[in-house]
Amino acid sequence: MRRSLRSLVVATAAAALVLPLWGATAANAEPPGYSHADKDTLRNQAPRDLAIGSAVWGKRDLVDYDRSAPTEYQQVLSAQFSSLTPENDMKWDAVHPAPDVYDFSSADALVAFAKANHQQVRGHTLLWHSQNPAWVTAASQTWTCDQARAVLEDHIRTVVGHFKGEIYEWDVANEIFQDTWDNGGVRLRTEANPFLKACAADPIALLEDAFRWAHEADPEAVLFLNDYNAEGINEKTDAYYALAQRMLADGVPLGGFGAQGHLSLLYGFDTSIQANFERFAALGLQVAVTEADVRIPLQAGETGPTPEQVAVQAERYDAMLEACLNVTACSSFTVWGFPDANSWVPDVFPGEGWATILEDDYSPKPAFDAMLESLREATPGTSPRHG
């Protein structure tokens, strides 16, 4: 397996390094009460400069957190992962349910859990066409661009400001490009996204200001563009690459590009992930796999996937992780939740499932084992962010 510059660091020397602080916490510091004798977990085996994360729903899984008596799910979450992404708790409909109302209760529970267990938090998401509250959907029908800008600016400054110093990466703009098969090729979602629609005369200006507002609210957070079908080199990532070049030329505080990594065995696998990451890294950006899962088509009456499907799933998870490990600028690798009972896949993709790396009893799947082995083989690194 081809390894990154991280592999050039002598293992014994790296092991002697004191874990540095990254944002509010050490990237892979052990959680309190850590009791795994062999320490053979994803977060422990990861390079020092690579956060290994999971999506989590604070409202469902963490608001009842009792540090002295964690649930089994909470124990696994703290032992395996050094980064958390709110699956829903920081989206518009959760934190901004009414024009003058902000509700951070479930997001705060997630951040509190992360702090208690020496984990970092990826913010998700500030500008998206989906999961907007009803008041945004209704009001946006008559918004002028100035009105849309005012609402978006207030939201970004309020939300990012609330979590200042507690979020190491923010998905500022999520899924702003449509795919090639959506009526004429890749283009900005100026119809589906209420803010881009209101400012359709110059949507890039609004997008760039969204990054500026987020940066002003928290100068330390790394600000990302994020999308699906953005793993390899294709028309969509070409569009993002051109956008990133323009934003950087305009002095926008763009810091990263995220490929979600929602894959399916119904389709082929794009082997150009590493090359795609390398070209964004060459612009001076961080890159990340932000929402990885690999769903499997399941026939009616089947109790589970075939051994062949399980093997392919493991290969694809590991290939995404390998691409990240081979690019020094890859700052985080996040799986989109666990176990399968918590996965969004069956509800959104009928007939597909078994998409996560852990069984419902939290036992590891071959995909987990493959990832753990690759992390074991990746020597802890010393990226510029950690001296």
- Catalytic residue positions, numbered: 175, 291
Cis peptide before 125 (omega within 30 of 0): yes
Long-range contacts of 181-190 (CB under 8 A, 24+ apart): 185/235, 186/235, 186/236, 186/238, 186/239, 187/239, 189/129
* Tokens of residue 318, six digits: 């590991």
Of 206, 189, 58, the C-alpha closest to 123 is: 58
Please measure the distance between the N-terminal and C-terminal CA atoms of the chain and give it in whole angstroms. Answer: 26
Distance CA 319, CA 342 (A): 24
